[in-house]
Amino acid sequence: MRAKIQTAFSGKVEAIGLPILAVCWVSFFWGTTWLASKEGVRHMPALQLATIRQFIGGILYVGYFLIKKEPWPKGKQWRTILVLAILNFVLSNGLSTWGVKYISSGLGAIISAIFPIWIIVINFFNGERIAKLAITGILICFGGICIIFMDHLGDFFKPDFQVGIILTVASTITWAFGILHTKKKAASFNPYFSLGLQMFISSFILFAVTEAAGVNIPLSEIPSTSWWAIGYLVIIGSVLTFIAFIYSLQHLPTEISSIYVYINPIVAMILGALIFGEILTHAILIGVLVTLAGLYLVNKSIRKPKV
Protein backbone atom coordinates (compact mmCIF):
# COMPACT_ATOMS: atom_id res chain seq x y z
CA MET A 1 0.00 0.00 0.00
CA ARG A 2 2.82 2.35 0.96
CA ALA A 3 4.61 1.61 -2.32
CA LYS A 4 1.46 2.46 -4.29
CA ILE A 5 1.14 5.79 -2.47
CA GLN A 6 4.79 6.63 -3.16
CA THR A 7 4.39 5.70 -6.84
CA ALA A 8 1.25 7.82 -7.17
CA PHE A 9 2.93 10.74 -5.39
CA SER A 10 6.04 10.58 -7.58
CA GLY A 11 3.84 10.41 -10.67
CA LYS A 12 1.94 13.49 -9.53
CA VAL A 13 5.16 15.39 -8.83
CA GLU A 14 6.47 14.49 -12.31
CA ALA A 15 3.15 15.49 -13.89
CA ILE A 16 3.27 18.87 -12.13
CA GLY A 17 7.04 19.34 -12.51
CA LEU A 18 7.23 19.75 -16.29
CA PRO A 19 4.31 22.23 -16.51
CA ILE A 20 5.86 24.25 -13.66
CA LEU A 21 9.16 24.29 -15.55
CA ALA A 22 7.21 25.49 -18.59
CA VAL A 23 5.72 28.34 -16.51
CA CYS A 24 9.22 29.21 -15.26
CA TRP A 25 10.45 29.35 -18.87
CA VAL A 26 7.54 31.61 -19.86
CA SER A 27 8.05 33.80 -16.79
CA PHE A 28 11.73 34.41 -17.57
CA PHE A 29 11.87 34.62 -21.35
CA TRP A 30 8.71 36.67 -21.88
CA GLY A 31 10.33 39.04 -19.38
CA THR A 32 13.35 39.33 -21.68
CA THR A 33 11.13 40.08 -24.68
CA TRP A 34 10.14 43.36 -23.03
CA LEU A 35 13.74 44.51 -23.46
CA ALA A 36 13.89 43.21 -27.04
CA SER A 37 10.67 45.04 -27.88
CA LYS A 38 11.97 48.20 -26.25
CA GLU A 39 15.07 48.06 -28.43
CA GLY A 40 13.14 47.13 -31.58
CA VAL A 41 10.56 49.94 -31.45
CA ARG A 42 13.21 52.61 -30.98
CA HIS A 43 13.70 52.70 -34.75
CA MET A 44 10.37 51.53 -36.19
CA PRO A 45 6.60 51.70 -35.53
CA ALA A 46 5.51 49.28 -32.79
CA LEU A 47 2.57 47.83 -34.72
CA GLN A 48 4.77 47.22 -37.74
CA LEU A 49 7.20 45.31 -35.52
CA ALA A 50 4.30 43.22 -34.19
CA THR A 51 3.11 42.58 -37.74
CA ILE A 52 6.52 41.37 -38.96
CA ARG A 53 7.06 39.29 -35.81
CA GLN A 54 3.73 37.53 -36.15
CA PHE A 55 4.16 36.98 -39.88
CA ILE A 56 7.58 35.32 -39.51
CA GLY A 57 6.47 33.35 -36.44
CA GLY A 58 3.37 32.16 -38.28
CA ILE A 59 5.44 31.13 -41.32
CA LEU A 60 7.76 29.05 -39.10
CA TYR A 61 4.88 27.25 -37.38
CA VAL A 62 2.83 26.65 -40.51
CA GLY A 63 5.89 25.63 -42.54
CA TYR A 64 6.87 23.07 -39.90
CA PHE A 65 3.44 21.45 -39.86
CA LEU A 66 3.25 21.47 -43.66
CA ILE A 67 6.52 19.52 -43.73
CA LYS A 68 5.07 17.14 -41.10
CA LYS A 69 1.96 16.83 -43.30
CA GLU A 70 -0.28 17.78 -40.41
CA PRO A 71 -3.99 17.78 -41.33
CA TRP A 72 -5.42 21.23 -41.93
CA PRO A 73 -8.31 22.50 -39.78
CA LYS A 74 -11.81 21.83 -41.02
CA GLY A 75 -15.20 23.49 -40.76
CA LYS A 76 -15.80 25.16 -37.39
CA GLN A 77 -12.13 24.81 -36.46
CA TRP A 78 -11.36 27.69 -38.83
CA ARG A 79 -13.87 29.87 -37.00
CA THR A 80 -12.15 29.10 -33.69
CA ILE A 81 -8.74 29.94 -35.16
CA LEU A 82 -10.03 33.23 -36.56
CA VAL A 83 -11.62 34.18 -33.22
CA LEU A 84 -8.37 33.38 -31.38
CA ALA A 85 -6.29 35.28 -33.94
CA ILE A 86 -8.41 38.37 -33.33
CA LEU A 87 -8.52 37.98 -29.52
CA ASN A 88 -4.91 36.97 -28.89
CA PHE A 89 -2.93 38.84 -31.52
CA VAL A 90 -4.98 41.59 -33.18
CA LEU A 91 -6.89 42.94 -30.17
CA SER A 92 -4.72 41.99 -27.18
CA ASN A 93 -1.35 42.67 -28.77
CA GLY A 94 -2.63 45.53 -30.90
CA LEU A 95 -4.47 47.34 -28.10
CA SER A 96 -1.60 46.96 -25.62
CA THR A 97 0.89 48.31 -28.17
CA TRP A 98 -1.43 51.19 -29.02
CA GLY A 99 -2.08 51.90 -25.34
CA VAL A 100 1.63 52.27 -24.51
CA LYS A 101 1.62 55.35 -26.77
CA TYR A 102 -0.54 57.15 -24.21
CA ILE A 103 0.63 55.80 -20.84
CA SER A 104 3.87 55.22 -18.97
CA SER A 105 5.49 51.79 -19.10
CA GLY A 106 5.13 51.52 -15.32
CA LEU A 107 1.40 52.05 -15.50
CA GLY A 108 1.26 49.55 -18.34
CA ALA A 109 2.97 46.96 -16.11
CA ILE A 110 0.40 47.52 -13.35
CA ILE A 111 -2.52 47.14 -15.75
CA SER A 112 -1.05 44.03 -17.37
CA ALA A 113 -0.91 42.44 -13.93
CA ILE A 114 -4.73 42.57 -13.81
CA PHE A 115 -4.92 39.80 -16.43
CA PRO A 116 -4.94 36.80 -14.01
CA ILE A 117 -7.66 38.53 -12.00
CA TRP A 118 -9.87 38.60 -15.12
CA ILE A 119 -9.22 34.84 -15.41
CA ILE A 120 -10.57 34.35 -11.88
CA VAL A 121 -13.60 36.57 -12.52
CA ILE A 122 -14.51 34.84 -15.80
CA ASN A 123 -14.05 31.38 -14.30
CA PHE A 124 -16.16 32.36 -11.30
CA PHE A 125 -19.08 33.40 -13.51
CA ASN A 126 -18.63 30.17 -15.47
CA GLY A 127 -19.25 28.29 -12.22
CA GLU A 128 -15.72 26.91 -11.83
CA ARG A 129 -14.28 26.34 -8.36
CA ILE A 130 -11.01 28.17 -7.68
CA ALA A 131 -8.71 27.46 -4.73
CA LYS A 132 -8.86 30.26 -2.14
CA LEU A 133 -5.10 29.97 -1.67
CA ALA A 134 -4.58 30.65 -5.39
CA ILE A 135 -6.86 33.71 -5.27
CA THR A 136 -5.02 35.03 -2.19
CA GLY A 137 -1.65 34.47 -3.85
CA ILE A 138 -2.68 36.24 -7.06
CA LEU A 139 -4.01 39.26 -5.15
CA ILE A 140 -0.77 39.43 -3.14
CA CYS A 141 1.20 39.27 -6.41
CA PHE A 142 -0.83 42.16 -7.79
CA GLY A 143 -0.09 44.12 -4.60
CA GLY A 144 3.62 43.41 -5.08
CA ILE A 145 3.53 44.73 -8.65
CA CYS A 146 1.79 47.88 -7.40
CA ILE A 147 4.58 48.37 -4.83
CA ILE A 148 7.24 47.91 -7.50
CA PHE A 149 5.61 50.56 -9.69
CA MET A 150 4.21 52.71 -6.87
CA ASP A 151 5.59 55.87 -8.48
CA HIS A 152 3.21 55.28 -11.37
CA LEU A 153 0.00 54.71 -9.37
CA GLY A 154 -0.84 58.39 -9.62
CA ASP A 155 -0.87 58.05 -13.40
CA PHE A 156 -4.31 56.42 -13.13
CA PHE A 157 -5.77 59.84 -12.35
CA LYS A 158 -4.10 61.80 -15.14
CA PRO A 159 -6.69 62.84 -17.77
CA ASP A 160 -4.13 62.49 -20.58
CA PHE A 161 -3.72 58.80 -19.74
CA GLN A 162 -7.40 57.84 -19.85
CA VAL A 163 -7.34 56.64 -23.47
CA GLY A 164 -4.25 54.52 -22.84
CA ILE A 165 -5.74 53.03 -19.68
CA ILE A 166 -8.93 52.04 -21.50
CA LEU A 167 -6.99 50.48 -24.38
CA THR A 168 -4.63 48.56 -22.09
CA VAL A 169 -7.39 47.28 -19.80
CA ALA A 170 -9.30 46.13 -22.89
CA SER A 171 -6.19 44.27 -24.08
CA THR A 172 -5.98 42.35 -20.78
CA ILE A 173 -9.66 41.37 -21.05
CA THR A 174 -9.33 40.12 -24.63
CA TRP A 175 -6.17 38.20 -23.69
CA ALA A 176 -8.02 36.54 -20.77
CA PHE A 177 -10.91 35.48 -23.02
CA GLY A 178 -8.44 34.34 -25.67
CA ILE A 179 -6.46 32.18 -23.23
CA LEU A 180 -9.60 30.58 -21.79
CA HIS A 181 -10.91 29.92 -25.30
CA THR A 182 -7.53 28.43 -26.23
CA LYS A 183 -7.65 26.10 -23.23
CA LYS A 184 -11.23 25.09 -24.03
CA LYS A 185 -10.60 24.38 -27.72
CA ALA A 186 -7.06 22.97 -27.44
CA ALA A 187 -8.23 19.34 -27.69
CA SER A 188 -10.26 19.92 -30.87
CA PHE A 189 -7.25 20.74 -33.06
CA ASN A 190 -3.45 20.77 -32.81
CA PRO A 191 -2.94 23.84 -30.55
CA TYR A 192 0.55 24.57 -31.91
CA PHE A 193 -0.56 24.46 -35.54
CA SER A 194 -3.51 26.62 -34.51
CA LEU A 195 -1.10 29.09 -32.88
CA GLY A 196 0.89 29.42 -36.10
CA LEU A 197 -2.25 29.98 -38.15
CA GLN A 198 -3.41 32.61 -35.64
CA MET A 199 -0.12 34.49 -35.97
CA PHE A 200 -0.17 34.22 -39.76
CA ILE A 201 -3.78 35.42 -40.09
CA SER A 202 -3.34 38.22 -37.54
CA SER A 203 -0.26 39.54 -39.36
CA PHE A 204 -2.37 40.19 -42.47
CA ILE A 205 -5.10 41.88 -40.43
CA LEU A 206 -2.55 44.10 -38.67
CA PHE A 207 -0.83 44.85 -41.98
CA ALA A 208 -4.13 46.01 -43.45
CA VAL A 209 -4.74 48.25 -40.42
CA THR A 210 -1.24 49.74 -40.37
CA GLU A 211 -1.19 50.29 -44.13
CA ALA A 212 -4.56 52.01 -43.98
CA ALA A 213 -3.27 54.20 -41.14
CA GLY A 214 -0.08 54.94 -43.08
CA VAL A 215 2.26 54.17 -40.16
CA ASN A 216 4.54 51.61 -41.84
CA ILE A 217 8.05 52.47 -42.99
CA PRO A 218 9.94 50.75 -45.88
CA LEU A 219 11.68 47.53 -44.84
CA SER A 220 14.96 48.93 -46.14
CA GLU A 221 14.78 51.68 -43.50
CA ILE A 222 14.55 49.23 -40.59
CA PRO A 223 18.05 49.10 -38.99
CA SER A 224 19.90 45.90 -38.12
CA THR A 225 19.31 46.41 -34.37
CA SER A 226 15.55 46.22 -34.92
CA TRP A 227 15.93 43.14 -37.13
CA TRP A 228 17.99 41.44 -34.41
CA ALA A 229 15.25 42.33 -31.92
CA ILE A 230 12.60 40.91 -34.26
CA GLY A 231 14.65 37.72 -34.65
CA TYR A 232 14.86 37.30 -30.88
CA LEU A 233 11.16 38.03 -30.45
CA VAL A 234 10.26 35.46 -33.12
CA ILE A 235 12.49 32.58 -31.96
CA ILE A 236 12.30 33.09 -28.20
CA GLY A 237 9.01 34.95 -27.76
CA SER A 238 6.77 33.63 -30.54
CA VAL A 239 8.06 30.08 -30.99
CA LEU A 240 9.83 28.52 -27.99
CA THR A 241 8.04 30.42 -25.22
CA PHE A 242 4.59 30.10 -26.78
CA ILE A 243 5.15 26.33 -27.00
CA ALA A 244 5.94 26.28 -23.27
CA PHE A 245 2.90 28.48 -22.54
CA ILE A 246 0.48 26.27 -24.46
CA TYR A 247 1.96 23.23 -22.69
CA SER A 248 1.38 24.84 -19.27
CA LEU A 249 -2.19 25.71 -20.25
CA GLN A 250 -2.84 22.06 -21.11
CA HIS A 251 -1.57 20.74 -17.78
CA LEU A 252 -2.29 23.43 -15.18
CA PRO A 253 -5.32 25.48 -14.06
CA THR A 254 -5.49 28.70 -16.06
CA GLU A 255 -5.07 30.92 -12.99
CA ILE A 256 -1.82 29.06 -12.23
CA SER A 257 -0.38 29.14 -15.74
CA SER A 258 -1.07 32.90 -15.90
CA ILE A 259 1.17 33.85 -12.95
CA TYR A 260 4.01 34.54 -15.42
CA VAL A 261 2.56 38.03 -15.78
CA TYR A 262 3.84 38.88 -12.28
CA ILE A 263 7.35 37.55 -12.89
CA ASN A 264 7.89 39.13 -16.32
CA PRO A 265 8.28 42.72 -14.97
CA ILE A 266 10.69 41.52 -12.26
CA VAL A 267 12.86 39.76 -14.85
CA ALA A 268 12.72 42.81 -17.11
CA MET A 269 13.78 45.14 -14.28
CA ILE A 270 16.66 42.94 -13.12
CA LEU A 271 17.96 42.60 -16.69
CA GLY A 272 17.40 46.31 -17.22
CA ALA A 273 19.60 47.01 -14.19
CA LEU A 274 22.30 44.62 -15.40
CA ILE A 275 22.25 45.61 -19.08
CA PHE A 276 21.11 49.25 -19.13
CA GLY A 277 22.26 50.28 -15.64
CA GLU A 278 18.73 51.07 -14.45
CA ILE A 279 18.40 51.72 -10.70
CA LEU A 280 16.77 49.18 -8.37
CA THR A 281 15.07 51.04 -5.49
CA HIS A 282 14.04 49.77 -2.05
CA ALA A 283 10.40 49.84 -3.17
CA ILE A 284 11.27 47.53 -6.06
CA LEU A 285 13.05 45.08 -3.75
CA ILE A 286 10.12 45.06 -1.29
CA GLY A 287 7.65 44.63 -4.15
CA VAL A 288 9.66 41.69 -5.50
CA LEU A 289 9.57 39.97 -2.08
CA VAL A 290 5.80 40.52 -1.79
CA THR A 291 5.28 39.18 -5.30
CA LEU A 292 7.41 36.10 -4.57
CA ALA A 293 5.37 35.48 -1.40
CA GLY A 294 2.20 35.54 -3.50
CA LEU A 295 3.76 33.17 -6.04
CA TYR A 296 4.64 30.79 -3.21
CA LEU A 297 0.98 30.65 -2.17
CA VAL A 298 -0.13 30.06 -5.77
CA ASN A 299 2.41 27.27 -6.14
CA LYS A 300 1.34 25.79 -2.80
CA SER A 301 -2.30 25.78 -3.91
CA ILE A 302 -1.63 23.30 -6.74
CA ARG A 303 0.27 20.95 -4.41
CA LYS A 304 -2.27 21.07 -1.59
CA PRO A 305 -4.22 17.79 -1.47
CA LYS A 306 -7.93 18.10 -2.21
CA VAL A 307 -10.27 16.95 0.53
**Residue 13: its pLDDT value, please?**
44
Whole-number Å distance between alpha carbons of 54 and 68: 21
User: Are 260 and 26 within 8 A, CB to CB?
Assistant: yes
Greater confidence, 88 or 282?
88
As a whole number, mean pLDDT of residues 153-161 equals 73
Note the residue count of the chain. Answer: 307
As a whole number, mean pLDDT of residues 92-105 equals 72
pLDDT score of 49 more than 50: yes
Whole-number Å distance between alpha carbons of 156 and 143: 16
Q: 215: how many CB neighbours lie within 10 A of its CB?
A: 13
**Residue 101: its pLDDT value, please?**
67
Q: Which of 281, 223, 269 is nearest to 32 (CA)?
A: 269
Q: Is 170 exposed, middle or buried (0-12, 13-18, 19+ CB in 10 A)?
A: middle
74 contacts: CB under 8 Å, gap ≥ 6: none
**Residue 193: its pLDDT value, please?**
92
Whole-number Å distance between alpha carbons of 120 and 122: 6
CA 265 to chain centre: 12
pLDDT averaged over the chain? 81
